[in-house]
Amino acid sequence: MPRHIAIIMDGNGRWAQQRQLSRIKGHKAAIPAVQETVQACVDLKVSCLTLYAFSTENWKRPPAETGTLMALLRQFLRMEMKTVTDYGVRFKPIGDIHELDAGIQKDLRAVEAATQKQTGMTFNLALNYSGRGDIINAFKAAVNAGLPLDSLNENNLSDYMSTAGQPDPDLVIRTSGEMRISNFLLWQIAYSEIWVTDTFWPDFRRKHLEEAIWNYQQRNRRFGGI
């Protein structure tokens, strides 16, 4: 079983387009997929789950769409507060959270604080996230902490990444059939196995997650060796 699963949730807009719906309705239809995936990972005893919800590049979308995404985020946090608490999930937002709306920041920090002592699965939600930015921020934090430049290495720089203290993702899943990483966890996925499905994110369910895990379990991870 992979310890850490990371998912690039993609295809909401195309899902809606196929049904002659607005992109906003596609984003709304994605919430049940998030709920079922979190629940399935808890059931399967996955240690860490990271969902890529909003990248720094997503701000290029129309304001109406980004505004709806942020509203849906607040709705999701309020809906799922009891669920993550009941199942012992530890919630951690990652990304440049300080650049988000003050109300969203407050909601994110509230859920994070309420679950920080939980000992179950860690649920990372990547918001306003950039893999390159994560590396730059880690480097700056290491320097600000007084770490000499000539002593920087893979191990101690990892201590300053947004996912510090967590295992790197074993499995990266991307929905919608796109074959890109999209600036996601660039440092952490150096040796991750990647599984792509044509399924759009709103249609993603536990059976798709289990298919990805089964595929992962058939692979021989060599980490650069033979």
CB atoms within 10 A of CB 147: 16
pLDDT in tens, 197-224: 999 999 999 999 999 999 999 998 787 7
Which pLDDT belongs to residue 73?
92
* φ, ψ for residue 142, nearest 5 deg: -65, -45
CB atoms within 10 A of CB 88: 13
Which pLDDT belongs to residue 223?
75
Which pLDDT belongs to residue 226?
62
The DSSP-derived string for 130-168 is -HHHHHHHHHHHHHHTT--GGG--HHHHHTTSTTTTSPP
3-state secondary structure of 170: coil
Indicate if 10 belongs to the active site. yes
3-state secondary structure of 129: strand
**Burial degree of 72 (CB within 10 A; 0-12, 13-18, 19+):** middle
Which pLDDT belongs to residue 224?
74
Residues 6+ apart with CB under 8 A from 62: none
Indicate if 168 belongs to the active site. no
Which one of the listed residues 12, 43, 58, 203 is annotated catalytic?
58
Residues of the chain with pLDDT under 70: 225-226
Name the architecture of domain 4-131+168-217. Answer: 3-Layer(aba) Sandwich (3.40)
pLDDT in tens, 130-142: 999 999 999 999 9
